[in-house]
Structure 1
Amino acid sequence: MRPFTVDDLLKLNQFAHRCPWDLSPDGALLAVTLSEANRREPLGDESSARTIHGVHLESNGAHLLLLDTATGESIVPFPDASMSWAGRWSPDGQTLAALVVAPQTQACVGLWDRRTRKVRLFRDAAVHCGLNFCVPQWTPDGLRIVVALGPADTQATASPTDPDVIVRSYDPKELDADQNQPFFQRRDASMCVGVVDVKSGAIARCGSGLKFNIPRLAPNGRAVALLNYIKSPVGGRLHYVHDLLVVPVDGREPHVVEKDVQVNSYASRLSWSPDSEMICFVTGAAKEPHHLWVVPADASAEPTMLAALESAPHPYQAPWWSADGKRLVWLQDGALHAFSVDERTGYRLSEDPSATQLRVDLLVQRHGESVLQTDDRGDLYGRARNGRDDSSCVVRINANSGKTTVVRSLPLPTANEFTTTATREFLFLRDVATGDEVVDAYPMDGGTPKTLLTLNPWREETETPSRRIIEFEDVNGRTQRAAIFTPPGAEDRDALPMVVTVYPGRTNSERHVPGLDIYDLEIELLTGAGYAAMYPDAIIEDHDPIAQIAGVTLPAVQRAVEMGLADAGRVGVRGHSYGGYAVVALLTQTNAFRAGVANAPTGVNMTSTYVANFNAMRWCEFNGGRTGGTPWEKRKRYIENSPFFLLDQVETPLMLVCGSKDEPAAMSARETFLALRRLGKRVEMREYRRESHVMAWSAADTRDYYESELRWFDQYLAPNLSNPS
């Protein structure tokens, strides 16, 4: 066995975040999307969210794989592509559509023929890449594919004689629609609905000048519904204002179904009735009321509000329609709920979780479908958690009676709605075995599961950290927990140097399991370099974060030291995003840490962060800053909760890290560096010119960051092991 290294991190395969699996209609081939850091490329010059080939950060490094569900044999459908993702089977199951990047090609639509195993690329269909769940959609006849397209000429550049100027204007009488773009859009995006003719290769561009996330194709294949971004009101909290449009795929002009629809930033909670005549949509955003609406697709009548939802529904998925179009069905609070469209009444469909102790937390449905998918008995499958012992199981729910039956047990859940699919015979899901990710097939009759794919067989060669949960009491007397990971055999050594990873507002002890995503892989990098890695809970109140962060972090460190798990003289601290803010906040209040690394430390000086953009305003008022108002209303809170004004108290060497395309975090990092330098403090800053906030960085930059971070801690904490190069 050997320690886990940066080289291992770069070659590791993982399931791409939020990229849905798709099972062929005959159940024989399962399309899954993996992600590998070595495949990632840098961002484009004009984008903070897309790479040089137009790939969204979520998809950077993605590659498709097809699994034979009987034998586990794998097929690479696009072998010459540098990236491929979002596979979607045609209605007859003979062709796989996907989004593909090939040499000298922007991200485009690609097809793989199951019979011939040949590939076709529609290079003129340059897609506007959204989040990973924005997949190609087939029309029911299998002749056309619907996707979101970007500008027709993706290589167009301005003439040297044109002015190179950014204009921002605001008139309180008429809100500027460009002041606050959703995070998934480029400011200069000019999108349309693209319709690819599979036989001829012709590409029709329907609508123009649109800004949307997901086009929802009607069941009859004749039109798409989408939420077209308009604006975000000044002072608005978390909702964006969109117009609900219907765009015919035959080239006719789009029409507005409803104006000024207030939705969350994903703008994807739309679903069509089975007859394609009605559209369901959900309004509201986090911390705001949610409402369920239906409206005729031809705009012949005003929208009807069916219900005020008691709790927030799924952020991406609108309720499903029943096959007869009479009910809307959704998952909420551990149970399946339904609403009669005609009778305007809602009710719980599945059995009461308080009576059965079973809370359904996942329904197995093909992603993006509007109509609830059931078998010929009217049953659908889901995953449930048992409140008595926290075990997990597969349940069968009858969509008519709501009768819920336990089908079989499952291990602790690691799959989500994107990495689960089923036939009547098998449930296919993402699982975790000995620190690696696998695709398992669970027989519905309760038989022994079989593993179809192990993503990284070589992981058997690397050491697996030991995990331990400790409890500590924060300064307010609350009992919180921390997860501590140590190298194998650490119990036989003296107290280890320890690196604490902080992120306020989360139960971090439950979130982190080695090997599940880039942030969890950091656990193995640290333990492989000889450190104990601590992830303490950091539940704080909704105000004055700077003092609370110290009040929940320092007691956790002290408890680990008391238990002999960490050497008090060799403790470091690290964090990303809000965690980066927390690192700087901690170092202004304590000398308990010998070194710190703050990555993307948003909000160190909230008075400057506030005016970076409108998302930063929300961060300061409601999210990380938790000031509860503007700087003019809460001047004292802004200063007291900005670590910038306490930087003269810092004695701990600090490394600051940011991507140049990550504003306002990059601005915050620069300000902190200049201030500490002026104060004569030990500080280093690494700014990666072509990277953004999300850690889907290019392989070269990923390597440099992690190796530099480990060297920084090695310099000041001197671990028991030398870091493998």
Structure 2
Amino acid sequence: DGKWIVYDVHTPPERSAGSELEQEPRFLPNGTPGTFVGSHLLLSDTQGNGVSEICPAKGNCWRASWSPDSSRVAFYSDADGIPQIWMYDLKLKASKKISAAKIKAKLWLGDEAYWCSDGKKVFVPLAPSITRKTEAPSAAVGPKDSGIQIYSSGKESSEPAKSEPVQDYTEFFLSENNATLASIDVASGMVKEIVPSTTEPRPSCLTLSPSGKWIVYLSVYRLNDPASTKAFYDLAIVPAEGGPVHVIAKDLEVNDNDYYTLAYRWRPSHDQLVYYKNARLWWLDLNEKAAEPKQIAAELGDVAPFPILFTRDGNRLIIGTQPVDRKDYSGFWPSSLAIFSLETNTIHRMQFDPSLQYDQVLTSSKNIAWEPAENEFGSIWRNSESGEKSIFRNNLESGKGTTSKKELGHFQSIGAAGQDTMFVAYEDAATPPDIYQINHNLQRQKRISNIEPRFDNVRLGSVERFQTEIKEKDGKKITAQTAVILPTGTKKGDKLPTLVFHYAGLPLSRSADRFLAGSPASVPISVFVTRGYAALLTDLMIGPEGVPGNPAQEMVDLLLPQVNRAAELGYTDINRVGLIGQSYGGYSTAAIITKTNLFRAAVAISGVYDLPGTYAWMLNGLTPHINWSEQGQGRMGTHPWKDLTRYIENSPYYQADKIQTPLLLIHGGNDDTSPVQDAEKMFVALQRLNKTAQLAVYDKEGHTINTWSLEKAVDATQRILDFLARYIPVKS
């Protein structure tokens, strides 16, 4: 009814030695996703007059879902030991458990509860009765409980009963996502299974049709090609009271921006849905007796996977068009929008300035665009040169848009209270993340929440941006964007000691949209800027994944011009520059300093350094770096036996003799993304060559410092600061 907001706040737990959180689990033994440990839900009126905790006194709670009459909130909590569904009653101001059934909670959005229209039942994913391991299973086969693992290949794998493909992720995906779809009576807690977990296609996440007659679900995703990084799932439908499952569409590609919530949309007040497949839109009308999908808006040609949103009356679709691959690991994005009328089958194409990049359409709910005025909707576009965001009021009839406001921050739609008001989560470099009310002119009017009051007194200096024109080897000129975060009291021209942040393939300059510029190397940038370092956030848009490349040299060719430009503009003292990166950025850091001696110190966190050696790394019987090397970030395009020279030339380990920059290597001992052995090998190589280096391995920690135990995260951060102070001192 637009009077209340429920939002979740996450307070990271202190992970103590010997606890179940010690080793950064994906799931706790009870089935709670590790990402929700420390999460709780708060209720506020939309005037910001008061905040209430709606969770039980203990445990974690997450995934709020309003009842149709806005009098109750369903949510998940493990207060009684396992994830279960609970309900908060606004009149009683109290929470209670609805059912003892165990919820199959997911790491990703899309597993929330769905209320039926009369509010008497909720539809949820339940944990299967078949117990599966929550870790990636071993593909080895051996005598039961013998401690022996046997792997087979070629002729040795001719007996199917004795071996499975090493690259088969099926069991792992099922263990994390497979669910029984069920309804639960809110009053009695009685459970009715609708789709058992063993049904094909294997169910994962559901939604309920507007009438409540139908459940549509997405299956557990899978890799159709073991050598590919692309995942797929099927879309299926079943009567809400139970019955045969009908597959609507097979092999919908999973979108990396949001695994489960972008695939399809229900039309408001109609049992009709639209879904995206193979760059086309398809329509299914469940009111027809022999309903079969049909293509719509075919005249648009290829469309983007998002946005696909209905107008408030449900009679028009807002569609992303002219898809482009931004080559930043986020897949295809729209470069324009179109309006498609479901009543007349007509299309209005919208045009935007080519310098603008699509960010989002403001939404009143998951399926519906917010309309601040009759026949208008709001959209946000980023200027590719300045980073500034323009908020447009777009006319649904003419397709024309007018700029309402310009911002440099990050928006996330929460919901609307009619045409006049909607609510967003907003943050920028100087503004901590909170919920704000915006009016029909798309202006921020009032802060509703104050999630972390201590942030009100934390500030950095100015955030500035510049561009660098870079000439590539083929003669083509490109423009790189760079953001500079300055310490308080400093300005352009002060020539500051500078720490360069980078992550090849990502436009890292966009991190400047986040409060205190975020943590792009898994350590808050504010740690360094408040100690006198300028932070340079660079864009390294190197060649595409899956294509043979030379990433080490490509990174250097894009990075050095940006650093030199920062020095020319007076931001940076070129003689006091450091380099830092995490994960692929850790690899990149070590790779870059094999090609240049510009940097006075470098910090590589959680990287891989021996590409051919890591290629065949086996984790629980799976070999994740085969895909990573051939089709993913590694950009080798093939296996080492076909192009060993390329692997070696791009491996810092084999180029260690060229490194002159002091290097700090930091790694978690239980990193299941980048093996710690790579950091150890890299250090030993530098040690043998008498290079200046330090290795810090943190036992039982994982891939990212900001998820480590507090004690070790603080130690790693202080170690980085001490290392930088020795080689890049900040003048008093």
Same fold (TM over 0.5): yes
Structure 1 stretch displaced more, 146-155 or 179-188? 179-188
Residue 49 in 1 paired to residue 26 in 2?
yes
Q: Do the aligned residues in 1 keep the contact of 2:469 with 2:479 (CA within 8 Å)? A: yes
| Cα distance change, pair 116–488 in 1 and its aligned pair in 2 (3 A) | same
Matches within 5 A, 1:513-592: 513=513, 514-515=515-516, 517-519=518-520, 522-542=524-544, 543-561=549-567, 565-592=571-598
| Cα distance change, pair 664–105 in 1 and its aligned pair in 2 (3 A) | same
Structure 1 stretch displaced more, 576-585 or 165-174? 165-174
Q: How far apart are the structure 1 equivalents of 2:479 and 2:403?
A: 37
| Cα distance change, pair 458–179 in 1 and its aligned pair in 2 (3 A) | same
Q: Do the aligned residues in 1 keep the contact of 2:498 with 2:572 (CA within 8 Å)? A: yes
Structure 1 stretch displaced more, 216-225 or 690-699? 690-699
| Cα distance change, pair 246–623 in 1 and its aligned pair in 2 (3 A) | same
| Cα distance change, pair 701–280 in 1 and its aligned pair in 2 (3 A) | farther
Aligned-pair CA distance for 1:577: 2.0
Q: How far apart are the structure 2 equivalents of 1:240 and 1:190?
A: 15
SS of equivalent residue, structure 1 residue 588: coil
Q: How far apart are the structure 1 equivalents of 2:269 and 2:443?
A: 39
SS of equivalent residue, structure 1 residue 37: coil
Q: Do the aligned residues in 2 keep the contact of 1:225 with 1:270 (CA within 8 Å)? A: no
Deviations 1:334-366 (A, max 9, x none): 6543556798x66236x44369x9987533335
Residue 694 of structure 2 is matched in structure 1 by 683
Aligned-pair CA distance for 1:640: 2.0
Q: CA RMSD in A?
A: 4.4
One-letter amino acid of the counterpart of residue 444, structure 1: H
Aligned-pair CA distance for 1:423: 2.2
Deviations 1:226-250 (A, max 9, x none): 2223631336644323333224443
Structure 1 stretch displaced more, 566-575 or 443-452? 443-452
Higher relative contact order (CA 8 A, sep 6+): 1
Residue 216 in 1 paired to residue 207 in 2?
yes
Aligned-pair CA distance for 1:579: 1.0
Q: Do the aligned residues in 2 keep the contact of 1:628 with 1:634 (CA within 8 Å)? A: no
One-letter amino acid of the counterpart of residue 395, structure 1: R
| Cα distance change, pair 85–381 in 1 and its aligned pair in 2 (3 A) | farther
Structure 2 residue corresponding to 1:144, chosen from 98, 103, 121: 121
Q: How far apart are the structure 1 equivalents of 2:526 and 2:728?
A: 17
Residue 427 of structure 1 is matched in structure 2 by 422
Residue 330 in 1 paired to residue 328 in 2?
no
SS of equivalent residue, structure 1 residue 415: strand
Residue 628 of structure 2 is matched in structure 1 by 619
One-letter amino acid of the counterpart of residue 659, structure 2: V
| Cα distance change, pair 715–412 in 1 and its aligned pair in 2 (3 A) | closer
TM-score (norm 1): 0.79
Aligned-pair CA distance for 1:688: 5.0
Aligned-pair CA distance for 1:309: 6.6
Deviations 1:135-188 (A, max 9, x none): 322121212222222344879999x98566778778799997993549994646
SS of equivalent residue, structure 2 residue 717: helix
Structure 1 residue corresponding to 2:9, chosen from 11, 19, 34: 34
Q: Do the aligned residues in 1 keep the contact of 2:309 with 2:369 (CA within 8 Å)? A: no
Residue 325 of structure 2 is matched in structure 1 by none
| Cα distance change, pair 410–141 in 1 and its aligned pair in 2 (3 A) | farther
Q: How far apart are the structure 1 equivalents of 2:198 and 2:151?
A: 19
One-letter amino acid of the counterpart of residue 452, structure 2: N
Aligned-pair CA distance for 1:471: 4.4
Q: How far apart are the structure 2 equivalents of 1:576 and 1:282?
A: 34
Residue 465 of structure 1 is matched in structure 2 by 461
Matches within 5 A, 1:155-554: 162=145, 179-181=167-169, 185=173, 187=175, 190-205=178-193, 206-209=195-198, 214-229=205-220, 231-234=222-225, 237-252=228-243, 254-264=245-255, 266-268=259-261, 269-272=263-266, 278-284=272-278, 290-295=279-284, 300=290, 303-306=293-296, 307=298, 310=301, 313-314=304-305, 320=310, 328-332=317-321, 333=334, 336-339=337-340, 347-348=347-348, 351-353=350-352, 361-369=359-367, 372=368, 379=375, 381-385=377-381, 392-393=390-391, 395=393, 397-398=395-396, 401=397, 408-409=404-405, 411-417=407-413, 419=414, 421-432=416-427, 434-444=430-440, 449-472=445-468, 474=470, 476=472, 478-491=478-491, 495-513=495-513, 514-515=515-516, 517-519=518-520, 522-542=524-544, 543-554=549-560
Equivalenced residue count is 679
Q: Do the aligned residues in 2 keep the contact of 1:467 with 1:483 (CA within 8 Å)? A: yes
| Cα distance change, pair 331–574 in 1 and its aligned pair in 2 (3 A) | same
SS of equivalent residue, structure 2 residue 528: helix
Structure 1 residue corresponding to 2:651, chosen from 642, 648, 654: 642
One-letter amino acid of the counterpart of residue 220, structure 2: Y
Where in structure 2 are there 5+ consecutive unaligned residues?
A: 138-142, 322-333
Where in structure 1 are there 5+ consecutive unaligned residues?
A: 1-25, 285-289
Aligned-pair CA distance for 1:441: 1.6
Aligned-pair CA distance for 1:493: 11
Structure 2 residue corresponding to 1:115, chosen from 59, 68, 91: 91
Deviations 1:267-310 (A, max 9, x none): 540234567755432224xxxxx232345669956644444975
SS of equivalent residue, structure 2 residue 304: coil
Q: Do the aligned residues in 2 keep the contact of 1:407 with 1:444 (CA within 8 Å)? A: no
Q: How far apart are the structure 2 equivalents of 1:502 and 1:49?
A: 26
Q: Do the aligned residues in 2 keep the contact of 1:627 with 1:638 (CA within 8 Å)? A: yes
Aligned-pair CA distance for 1:689: 1.9
Q: Do the aligned residues in 2 keep the contact of 1:180 with 1:231 (CA within 8 Å)? A: no
SS of equivalent residue, structure 2 residue 448: strand
Residue 602 of structure 2 is matched in structure 1 by 596
SS of equivalent residue, structure 1 residue 593: coil
One-letter amino acid of the counterpart of residue 130, structure 1: L
Identity, % of aligned positions: 23
Q: How far apart are the structure 2 equivalents of 1:249 and 1:304?
A: 23
Q: How far apart are the structure 2 equivalents of 1:569 and 1:142?
A: 66
Aligned-pair CA distance for 1:547: 0.7
Q: How far apart are the structure 2 equivalents of 1:497 and 1:386?
A: 30
Aligned-pair CA distance for 1:88: 1.6
Structure 1 stretch displaced more, 86-95 or 510-519? 510-519
| Cα distance change, pair 373–459 in 1 and its aligned pair in 2 (3 A) | closer
| Cα distance change, pair 420–580 in 1 and its aligned pair in 2 (3 A) | farther
